[in-house]
Amino acid sequence: MTSVLKGNFTPKKTVDLEPEKKDLETRFENAALKRLGGSIAFVAKKKIKWDADE
């Protein structure tokens, strides 16, 4: 656990962070985004807004 607050006194509450865990889907989409272009294209699954019934 890592505290995100750093200072010269101890605050009333600490704010600790668990190591960030990105799921496979997020890691894939981030990696693909960095190389976007040409045949590297992907569907951002969490951003689909079109209802299949439309």
Partner 1 sequence: MAKILFINPVVREEDVPRHVPYGIALLAAIAMDRGHLVQVYDANAWRRGEDVLRAVLRADDWDVVALGGITTTYNSIKRIVTAARDECPSSLIVLGGGILTSLPREMMTWLPQVDVGVIGEAFETLPEILGMVDAGQPDWTRVAGTVSRSPDGTLVLSPQRALIDDLDGLPYPAWDLFPLEEVYFKNSDVLYSEEGMLATRRLDINASYGCSLICRFCYHLGIAGDMRYETDDKGNVNPAFDKPGTYTRTIRYHSPEYVVTLVKHAYDTYGINFVTFLDENLMTMDQHSGRTWLKEICRLWHEFGLMPTYEYDDNGDIKSWTGVHWSGTSHATLCNPEILKTMRKAGCSHLVYGYESFAPHVMKTIGKGASPASNIRSFFWTLESGIRPIPNQIIGFPNEDFESIRLNMEAWKKLGIVVKPHFATPYPGSEWFTVYRKSILKQYDGDLEAFILDLGDASAISAVISHNFNAIELIGLREMMLKDDTRMIDAYEKIWCENHGIPEGAPATLYTKSDYGHAAE
Which positions lie near partner 1, rule CB under 8 A?
A: 2, 4-9, 11-15, 17, 20
SS3 16: strand
**Nearer to partner 1 among residue 3 and residue 28 (C-beta):** 3
Q: How far is the CB of 12 from partner 1 (least distance, A)?
A: 5
If one counts every other C-beta atom within 10 angstroms of the C-beta of residue 28, the result is 13
CA 18 to the chain's CA centroid: 14
Q: Which is nearer to partner 1, 17 or 48 (CB)?
A: 17
How far, in Å, CA of 54 to CA of 6, rounded? 51
Rounded least distance, CB 48 to partner 1, Å: 21
